[in-house]
């Protein structure tokens, strides 16, 4: 959408993105300079804090947290893998670059609305059920995209948008519910989630690219992503068992 506004010059588009980031940074500076923000920072700085490694090992020793961190690797691998390769996958089905770009943006638009709605449905008593439904949708996403025919392909892209926003959001909510007195470390646990998850965030796109290069198409990579969604369901079953225990 921005390319035509800037005369189809990628350099100008990236300068526009940089301008957006600078504006956001300026707004944050204004917020952080507010007296209430300064007072909050002083109070937080005065609070006693346990050593980093003490918190780290306390969290890692918890099998519940470990299972969520393993899930994070597969969740971000699934999300980043499909997101980054989707335009190329669609082009391999015969779309031109422009059409593939527009269709690949569909999950992003769906994800905006999904981020505002699906996590709200995942109340504490329904977290596991809603996350299981999203994982089933993730498995369906790969099969629908694999079909490479309309309208199934379009439905698959809608499902992808639902999954990309909801998987991580609900997993973080489950971390916030963790017991045994560890809820006070939810910030550290969330940080660990993304630290572990970005391992998958790097391996997901790389694995799809390598597999597509070896096989000559995206059939095998899509089946690999289907396998990832099945692994996530198995990990969720273990997580539910640990929560009940």
Is the model's pLDDT at 238 over the cut of 90?
yes
> 82-100, pLDDT tens digit by residue?
999 999 999 999 899 889 9
Closest alpha carbon to 152 in 144, 142, 160, 143: 144
How far apart CA 233 and CA 224 sit, in angstroms, is 15
Residue bearing the bigger pLDDT, 230 or 42: 230
Q: Does domain 52-244 have CATH number 1.10.150.120?
A: no
Closest alpha carbon to 86 in 66, 102, 69: 102
What does the pLDDT read at residue 14? 96
This prediction has a pTM of 0.82
Is the model's pLDDT at 160 over the cut of 70?
yes
Per-domain residue ranges for the chain? 2-45, 52-244
Is the model's pLDDT at 168 over the cut of 50?
yes
């Amino acid at each position: 959408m921005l390319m035509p506004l800037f005369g189809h010059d990628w350099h100008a588009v990236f300068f526009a993105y940089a301008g957006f980031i600078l504006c956001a940074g300026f707004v944050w500076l204004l917020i952080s300079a507010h007296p209430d923000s300064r007072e909050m920072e002083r109070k937080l700085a005065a609070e006693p804090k346990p050593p980093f490694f003490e918190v780290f090992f306390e969290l890692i020793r918890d099998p519940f947290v470990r299972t969520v961190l393993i899930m994070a690797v597969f969740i971000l691998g699934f999300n980043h893998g499909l997101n980054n390769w989707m335009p190329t996958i669609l082009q391999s089905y015969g779309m031109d670059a422009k059409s593939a770009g527009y269709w690949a943006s569909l999950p992003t638009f769906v994800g905006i609305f999904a981020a505002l709605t699906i996590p709200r449905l995942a109340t504490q008593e329904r977290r596991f059920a809603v996350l299981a439904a999203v994982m089933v949708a993730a498995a369906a996403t790969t099969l629908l995209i694999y079909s490479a025919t309309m309208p199934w392909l379009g439905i698959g892209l809608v499902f992808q948008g639902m999954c990309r926003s909801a998987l991580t959001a609900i997993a973080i909510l489950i971390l916030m519910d963790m017991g045994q007195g560890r809820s006070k470390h939810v910030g550290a646990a969330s940080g660990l989630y993304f630290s572990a998850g970005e391992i998958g965030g790097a391996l997901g796109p790389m694995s799809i690219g390598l597999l597509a290069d070896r096989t000559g198409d995206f059939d095998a990579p899509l089946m690999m992503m289907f396998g990832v969604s099945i692994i996530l369901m198995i990990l969720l079953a273990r997580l539910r068992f640990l929560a009940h225990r």
